[in-house]
Amino acid sequence: MSLWGGVRMHMSACACTLMSYLAAVLLKQFIKEHWQEDEENFVHPVVSPPEKVVIRQLLLPSLNDPHRKIRTAIGMGIASIAQYDWPEGWPELLPFLLNLISDRGNRDGVHGALRCLALLSSDLDDTVVPKLVPSLFPHLHTIISSPHLYENSLRAKALSIVHSCISVLGSMSGVYKAETSSLMMPMFSSLMEQFSVILQSPVQSEEPDDWSIRMEVLKCLLQSVQNIPSLPVTQFSVILPPLWQTFVSSLKVYQKACIEGGEDSHAVRYDSDGGEKSLESFVIQLLEFLITMVGNARLAELVGGNIKELVYYTIAFQQMTEEQVRTWSLDANQYVADEDDVTYSCRVSGCLLLEEIINAYGEEGIDAIIVASQNRFHESREAKVAGSADWWKLREATLFAFASISEQLLEAKASGVIYCDLGNLIEQMITEDMGTGVHECPFLHARVFFIVSKFRSLINQRTSEQFLYGAVQAIASDVPPPVKVGACKALSQLLPESKQDVIQPHIMGLLLSLVDLLRQASDETLHLVLETLQAAVKAGHSQSTSIEPIISPIILNVWAQHVSDPFISIDAVEVLEAIKNAPGCIRPLVSRILPTIGSILEKPKLQPIGLVAGSLDLLTMILKNAPADVVKAVFETCFNTTIQIILESDDHGEMQNATECLAAILSGGRQELLSWEGDPGHTMKKLLDVASRLLDPNLESSGSLFVGSYILQLILHYPSEMSPHTRELIAAIVRRMQSCEIAGLKSSLVVILARLVHLSAADVNQFINLMLNIPANGYGNSLTYVMSEWTKLQGEVQGAYQIKVTTTALALLLSTRNEELAKISVQGHLIKSDAGIKTRSKAKFAPDQWTLIPLPAKIFSLLADTLAEIQEQVLDEDDDNEDSDWEEVSNSDGGLPQDIIYSSTVPSNVGPSVEHLDAMAKVFDEGEDDSYDDDLTKIDPLNEIKLVDFLTAFFSNLSNNDRSLFDHLCQSLSVSQSAAVEKVLRK
């Protein structure tokens, strides 16, 4: 045969293989689209039953094709069909596969059958596995236990199928404990013997198949620990010596291949099915299994005798690999990203293991970590003396380990658990390391800076100041990027606590260096530099007037370049806010910003994406706590353009930010604002036009998101001007609620209505009658609709102020005893079904059903719920000091409505106790937002209400003055609600 003829035959064979593979892939797509009519991806026509039989019969024999890719593609096709037909419609599938994997003479068939079973096993459920395991497991066990007959790649594939079966059985064990135990125990006993055999020999270098099979063993063990708690501890004690052998020997391989960067250590390897194999993935799996063992109360005792050695080796696994050194040296941005994120790496898994050791073993675990860290520190010193080029990696890993558990170590030190002088130990480590060459060991220097910021409370003040000065110098010097990263992290933590006389001489130089660094930064590093700049600006208060002209233009430029990036733009705005808050800086900053922002808002449609919304956000920041002249300057430049954006824009981000900005202008300008343009009536009309647009029922909900806070500003600042529009306002709110798609928006509208209830406190019946005369689509009137929604949403209302307003408003409504309230039925309790797990299809055809109860009973139970929540959060913290948290509330002889109205509209003359404020903050998330909403809490007298006192007065007065109504309403309370009410009545 000629050479050309041989080449043509080879090309023809390759072409046939390729065509067969492509055909198999197309078959899988064909199955997905045409096999089952009710599937989401179905495309007509459907495959007929006779055609399905033929396709299934043709596919099975192809599993022993000599070409791996074809076997894989055929297996995928079979697995796709099996999702629909197996086991009922394709009973011969499993017998065929079992027969194929038992044919030792047909290696291609064994490969194909195992690949197919592996694909099938990923979709197994609790109806199939119990039937499958008894017949399948003996065949898999034969393969796993026969290294002389089957290569490691095949044995690993068999183990992956076992892993899938254990996963399903584990998920069943909670309900079918006895059944799964009877299936698992015989299987697991024989498996543990094989696991021991696989793990007991030392890990071999450059043998990916060896890593893979061990990895599958670890995955099986991990799944067993997590999902089958009934397995006896004695089973796992057998595995410990082989597991330890794998752990220790794998470090030697990992050290040489990855940490030292041995030849081809980073080459990508693949198994026979095309799956990637990695030494690092194997080590991570090993560490993950150890984390699970240590975290298991029963198994932790088995490991307890070796925790010092476990920590000792774990620290070594946390060394930087040569690949990481290479990557991070070239890309500081990647270094920052990997440091900040919980990345998939041995370093991170090692940190998690150390944390779990402290959680499991407490003081003993902490002692083990300190001792191991000292040993590794001394070893790195010896390696340095011996001339090792990588000596610093072990030192850096030791500091990295310390930093990762800094919170636990500091807590333990504070409580007296740590008896050694931790501060001196850390100082010894970092002082010695700073003497090394910064260019020779940049990552070690970066880690030293970072650990100083973590343990600054334990380090001698003089040493801390030295490192602060060192970090300032590093920012200004020609040092490798990782060192600058570490210096920035240290400065962002150290500057807020530094003494003024220490930092002031260096602050201008530092700011200039950071600005220069800012020009070179990108992405993650940009975030870090901005964070450091913010800390530096705050630290340089006394030089603030000199800071503003230097820093502001640069930060504004960064903000403009990254305005569409929410993370970077927020960082930039926070730096500008720090400048604004510095003495003497707000007016020059505003004069710098306002002309540009004004021109942007004048022509919003011509601006790049995000610039208008970002400009409005920047203005809102400027307006926060701004002096009156600054607010007026912003008003004169941006008031009308901000209104036009709300009235004309279709961009929801722009509308939201414009609404917030306008509310901030109202908050700062208050009553005086109406006359700033000369005609108060004209200005008021503009403000009402904005409210009308935001309450338009045809506007998408997200565009109206902040309308609630805006209208509250109008109500509180301009009550007399808003009073004539109350009816139109309520009608618009109801229409907006009925078309609303966002629960948060609907809740904010409820808060407005609740505040209107308070404004009518002199005669709440008048408010009720007004609501009765306003129509609501699908309901008899607005009161019926609003109360049905309000009572459903009350539990979702967030914010201390909002909870006070809505809760007290409900009490005001109930205190009227208006007969119309009793005519309204609202959602009561969920009717529980005994039909088992509720799937999406069940939910579609049988949605949740609720009881209907009278509105007064629902309001009464909601008030009792609030009372119970406060008691749970406040009183349970200190049952011995109840009187300090709950003040006596005297009952009045007057009528109930007058008492409630009075207590809800007049500020308390007695300042709330510190304990009370702390407790309320916990219950109602006070202080979580620093937005213009805070102004509502400053000017609204309702915020002075002590909710616990208010509710105590309400229940006491109702009990004393209308006992029959009180007893009737109490019948609708749950046991916990009744207990909460009884508790306050006993006071």
Q: Beta strand pairing status for 850-854 and 269-270?
A: unpaired
Asked whether residue 886 carries a pLDDT value surpassing 60, the answer given is no
DSSP 303-322: HGGGHHHHHHHHHHHTSPPH
> For 191-231, how does the pLDDT look when each residue is reduced to its tens digit (9 = 90+)?
888 999 999 999 988 788 899 999 999 999 998 888 777 67
Q: Please tell me the predicted confidence (pLDDT) of residue 944.
A: 87
CA torsion 497-499-502-506 (nearest 10°) is 60
CA torsion 694-697-700-701 (nearest 10°) is 70
The better pLDDT of the pair 15, 112 is held by: 112
Q: Give the residue extent of every domain in the chain.
A: 247-257+277-420, 584-723, 752-831+851-875+945-986
Asked whether residue 950 carries a pLDDT value surpassing 70, the answer given is yes
| Mean local confidence (pLDDT), 667-672 | 92
CB-CB neighbours of 68 under 10 Å: 18
Q: Please tell me the predicted confidence (pLDDT) of residue 249.
A: 95
Identify whether the C-beta of residue 283 lies closer than 8 Å to the C-beta of residue 216: no
Percent of the chain with pLDDT over 70: 85
Which of 92-106, 272-286, 313-327, 350-364 has the weakest average pLDDT? 272-286
Ranges of beta strands (E only) in 806-862 are 825-830, 850-854
> For 17-33, how does the pLDDT look when each residue is reduced to its tens digit (9 = 90+)?
445 556 656 777 777 77
Asked whether residue 435 carries a pLDDT value surpassing 50, the answer given is yes
Identify whether the C-beta of residue 790 lies closer than 8 Å to the C-beta of residue 750: yes
Q: Is 128 left (phi over 0), alpha (psi -120 to 50) or beta?
A: alpha
| Mean local confidence (pLDDT), 933-948 | 79
Q: Which residue bears the tokens 């998920």?
A: 171
Which pair of structure tokens corresponds to residue 885? 């948290």
Q: What is the largest CA-CA distance in the chain?
A: 118
Q: Please tell me the predicted confidence (pLDDT) of residue 392.
A: 95
Which pair of structure tokens corresponds to residue 788? 């049905």
Identify whether the C-beta of residue 782 lies closer than 8 Å to the C-beta of residue 728: no
Question: Between 855-874 and 963-970, two packed helices, what is the crossing angle to 10 degrees?
Answer: 80
pLDDT band at 67 (very low <50, low <70, confident <90, very high): confident
| Mean local confidence (pLDDT), 429-445 | 86
Q: Please tell me the predicted confidence (pLDDT) of residue 671.
A: 92
The 3-state DSSP class for residue 272 equals coil
Q: Please tell me the predicted confidence (pLDDT) of residue 987.
A: 67
pLDDT band at 592 (very low <50, low <70, confident <90, very high): very high
pLDDT band at 913 (very low <50, low <70, confident <90, very high): very low
CB-CB neighbours of 631 under 10 Å: 22
Asked whether residue 863 carries a pLDDT value surpassing 80, the answer given is yes
> For 749-808, how does the pLDDT look when each residue is reduced to its tens digit (9 = 90+)?
999 999 999 999 889 999 999 999 999 999 989 999 999 999 999 988 888 899 999 999
DSSP 354-420: HHHHHHHHTHHHHHHHHHHHHHHHHHHHHHHHTT-TTHHHHHHHHHHHHHHTHHHHHHHHHTT---S
Q: How far is CA 179 from the centre of its chain?
A: 37
Kindly tell me the burial class for residue 5, based on how many C-beta atoms sit within 10 Å of its own C-beta (0-12, 13-18, 19 or more). Answer: exposed
Q: Does a cis peptide bond (omega within 30 degrees of 0) precede residue 45?
A: yes
Question: Between 566-581 and 523-539, two packed helices, what is the crossing angle to 10 degrees?
Answer: 10
Asked whether residue 923 carries a pLDDT value surpassing 80, the answer given is no
Q: Please tell me the predicted confidence (pLDDT) of residue 265.
A: 47
CB-CB neighbours of 99 under 10 Å: 13
Q: Please tell me the predicted confidence (pLDDT) of residue 179.
A: 66
Q: Does a cis peptide bond (omega within 30 degrees of 0) precede residue 442?
A: no
CB-side neighbour CA atoms (13 Å) of 748: 22
Quote the CA–CA distance of 977 and 869 in Å, as a whole number: 9
Quote the CA–CA distance of 971 and 957 in Å, as a whole number: 18
The better pLDDT of the pair 826, 840 is held by: 826
Q: Please tell me the predicted confidence (pLDDT) of residue 461.
A: 86
Identify whether the C-beta of residue 191 lies closer than 8 Å to the C-beta of residue 155: no
Asked whether residue 879 carries a pLDDT value surpassing 50, the answer given is no
Kindly tell me the burial class for residue 47, based on how many C-beta atoms sit within 10 Å of its own C-beta (0-12, 13-18, 19 or more). Answer: middle
Quote the CA–CA distance of 137 and 150 in Å, as a whole number: 16
The 3-state DSSP class for residue 269 equals strand
Asked whether residue 810 carries a pLDDT value surpassing 50, the answer given is yes
Among the listed residues 328, 346, 349, the one whose alpha carbon sits nearest the alpha carbon of residue 524: 328
pLDDT band at 438 (very low <50, low <70, confident <90, very high): confident
pLDDT band at 667 (very low <50, low <70, confident <90, very high): very high
| Mean local confidence (pLDDT), 865-885 | 64
| Mean local confidence (pLDDT), 936-942 | 79
The better pLDDT of the pair 579, 905 is held by: 579
Q: Please tell me the predicted confidence (pLDDT) of residue 412.
A: 85
Q: Across all residues in the chain, what is the average pLDDT? A: 83
| Mean local confidence (pLDDT), 349-355 | 95
Q: Does a cis peptide bond (omega within 30 degrees of 0) precede residue 627?
A: no
Cα end-to-end distance, the chain, whole Å: 108
| Mean local confidence (pLDDT), 516-527 | 87
Identify whether the C-beta of residue 315 lies closer than 8 Å to the C-beta of residue 255: no
Asked whether residue 478 carries a pLDDT value surpassing 50, the answer given is yes
Q: Please tell me the predicted confidence (pLDDT) of residue 176.
A: 63
pLDDT band at 238 (very low <50, low <70, confident <90, very high): confident
Which of 313-317, 425-429, 558-562 has the weakest average pLDDT? 425-429
Quote the CA–CA distance of 825 and 780 in Å, as a whole number: 12
The better pLDDT of the pair 263, 536 is held by: 536
Q: Please tell me the predicted confidence (pLDDT) of residue 848.
A: 64
pLDDT band at 904 (very low <50, low <70, confident <90, very high): very low
CB-side neighbour CA atoms (13 Å) of 734: 25
> For 830-847, how does the pLDDT look when each residue is reduced to its tens digit (9 = 90+)?
776 544 333 333 444 445
| Mean local confidence (pLDDT), 118-124 | 75
| Mean local confidence (pLDDT), 940-960 | 90
Question: DSSP class of residue 784?
Answer: H
> For 245-264, how does the pLDDT look when each residue is reduced to its tens digit (9 = 90+)?
999 999 999 999 999 987 55
pLDDT band at 897 (very low <50, low <70, confident <90, very high): very low
SS (H, E, C) 561-625: HCCCCHHHHHHHHHHHHHHHHCCCCHHHHHHHHHHHHHHHHHCHHHCCCCHHHHHHHHHHHHHCC
> For 388-406, how does the pLDDT look when each residue is reduced to its tens digit (9 = 90+)?
999 999 999 999 999 999 9
The 3-state DSSP class for residue 698 equals coil
The better pLDDT of the pair 195, 74 is held by: 195
> For 483-492, how does the pLDDT look when each residue is reduced to its tens digit (9 = 90+)?
999 999 999 9
Which of 69-73, 307-311, 725-729, 909-913 has the weakest average pLDDT? 909-913
Identify whether the C-beta of residue 306 lies closer than 8 Å to the C-beta of residue 297: no
Q: Identify the helix (H) or strand (E) that includes residue 276.
A: strand 276-277
Q: Please tell me the predicted confidence (pLDDT) of residue 10.
A: 32
Q: Please tell me the predicted confidence (pLDDT) of residue 894.
A: 34
